Structure 1
């Protein structure tokens, strides 16, 4: 099953990207197929001009369409998610997230901006028809600390919340249901005239 990780930071390396990396690692360990969209790598002109025919936009929209689960991560600026993420979400068709499960992630300088997930990002995801939006995970700069080596380290409380979120994603969405397993185990019906017997 497939999960698409959408990086909404304008920076190549960021705390929100570190959260995505942690989710990707946890999903991969469980055997899920993980794909990514780095919005910063899409054509800026195509994004701003809503050029749906541009190859980078076409490919990104196809990735969204194929995924069953989306993990959307963004830094919080001015009490809202990033502008690059906003531009990308504006390009999605109105029902782009129909039948999909979404896990929102965000990072910010202080706890004061955590409501951006519920009051800014969640309504947009709902308007795009998401089947289910899991409780968002917000981390402050202190909870995703930059080490002297230049890597990011997640505090235990954030790591635990990511563990729980990935567990929910996998058990409720990515893992086949008993009904799906039973259906895949059935043979296609065969007409009686095609039955051959040997004695």
Structure 2
């Protein structure tokens, strides 16, 4: 199974990046995920046809499992992630991809954001989003056991839903 982590934090090498990688490794420990830290794509995300953005889009579209990770900004996911998701064709751009929406925040006020705000966009562009979204405390995710508990519950479902690309 190919696994990719897409990180929508405007800070490079962020806690969001670390958390996304931890989630991917917990769900599929036998696979080292590819990582796309969107901040490294810079202004290429603002238009169409940038080669680095195109390569990132192809990597994500060819993946079987993608963890989409974003900090919570203004009660939703970042504009950086939105710009990247705009690169995919509606309805088919993520066909065959099992997507896991992950968001980090300072407190529980936005705990439903992954499911209410990010998941519908992923489904709209063709992803299978069968797992519940995961909301993590941005200061506690590494030690609070939430990622491990999520993986224990949902890793068997990921295995069962493994999609083979044609």
Query: Under a length normalisation based on structure 1, what TM-score does the superposition of the two structures give?
Result: 0.73
Can you give the 5+ residue segments of structure 2 that lack an aligned partner in the other structure? none
Secondary structure (helix, strand or coil) at the match of 2:33 reads strand
Number of residue pairs the alignment of both structures matches: 163
Q: In the alignment, which residue of structure 2 is the partner of 1:155?
A: 144
Q: Do structure 1's residue 107 and structure 2's residue 96 form an aligned pair?
A: no
What is the CA-CA distance between 1:133 and the residue it aligns to?
3.4
Q: In the alignment, which residue of structure 2 is the partner of 1:46?
A: 44
Matches within 5 A, 1:4-15: 4-15=4-15
C-alpha distance in 2, partners of 1:68/1:36? 14
In the superposition, relative to structure 1, how do residues 126 and 16 fare at CA in structure 2: closer, same or farther (>3 Å)?
same
RMSD: 2.0
What is the CA-CA distance between 1:161 and the residue it aligns to?
1.4
Q: Do structure 1's residue 84 and structure 2's residue 73 form an aligned pair?
A: no
Can you give the 5+ residue segments of structure 1 that lack an aligned partner in the other structure? 145-152, 177-199
C-alpha distance in 2, partners of 1:41/1:92? 19
In the superposition, relative to structure 1, how do residues 13 and 167 fare at CA in structure 2: closer, same or farther (>3 Å)?
farther
C-alpha distance in 1, partners of 2:24/2:97? 17
Q: In the alignment, which residue of structure 2 is the partner of 1:181?
A: none
C-alpha distance in 2, partners of 1:24/1:120? 20
Report 1 or 2 for greater relative contact order, CA contacts < 8 Å, sequence distance ≥ 6.
2
C-alpha distance in 2, partners of 1:105/1:138? 6
What is the CA-CA distance between 1:142 and the residue it aligns to?
4.1
Rg larger in 1 or in 2?
Answer: 1
Q: 2:134 aligned to 133, 137, 144, which one?
A: 137
**Residues 67-107 of structure 1, C-alpha deviations (whole Å, 9 max, x = no match):** 11111100001110011001100111221111221111110
C-alpha distance in 2, partners of 1:2/1:114? 28
